[in-house]
Structure 1
């Protein structure tokens, strides 16, 4: 389960054998959610503050997330992406 980024207790992952459309899996203290690469919540739920942090981070790194998704689905490890600070 490759980790793409971690910030403020939030863990973002991408899976090589995952289905389309491009998305990321996000966890925070037992809460789980799936987001599109532009930060749209697709399923699950995070606390409001963490949801907003994920949306902001995704907006900043959307191009890198797309590149990571493509690399991941070519059988390689997804790229690490800079966390929020």
Structure 2
């Protein structure tokens, strides 16, 4: 599972040929959440409140790039790195 961004100890990853809806995986320590790119809703799992807030802030800023990477995933193409939250 390629890591497309990393910030504050949070990894943002996507799987090739993953199931719909378009989403990404956010990992922080022992926590993992699947976040819908379109709605920024947590589909599965959980993150600590502060980590989730950082992930959602980052995802809001990079939604178009996330959708581009999702499209690349569906075609088994190399993913593009996305600038981390600063």
Does TM, scored on the shorter chain, surpass 0.5?
yes
- Normalised by the shorter chain, which TM-score bucket? over 0.9
C-alpha displacement of 1:40: 1.6
* Residues paired across the two proteins, number: 85
- How far did residue 50 of structure 1 move? 0.3
- Aligned partner of residue 69 in structure 2, secondary structure: helix
Question: In structure 2, how many angstroms separate the alpha carbons of the residues matched to 1:53 and 1:74?
Answer: 29
What residue is the counterpart of 2:36 in the other structure?
A: 36
- Tell me what 1:84 maps to: 85
Q: Which residue of 2 aligns with 1:71?
A: 72
Structure 1 outlier segments of 4+, above 2 Å:
none
Structure 2, unaligned runs of 5 or more: none
User: What is the alpha-carbon root mean square deviation over aligned residues?
Assistant: 0.9
Unpaired segments of 5 or more residues in structure 1?
none
Determine the structure 2 residue equivalent to 1:46.
47
* SS of residue paired to 2:60: helix
Whole-Å separation in 2 of the counterparts to 1:51 and 1:68:
21
Partners of 1:17 and 1:72 lie apart in 2 by 6
Q: Which whole-Å CA distance do the structure 1 matches of 2:78 and 2:19 have between them? A: 16
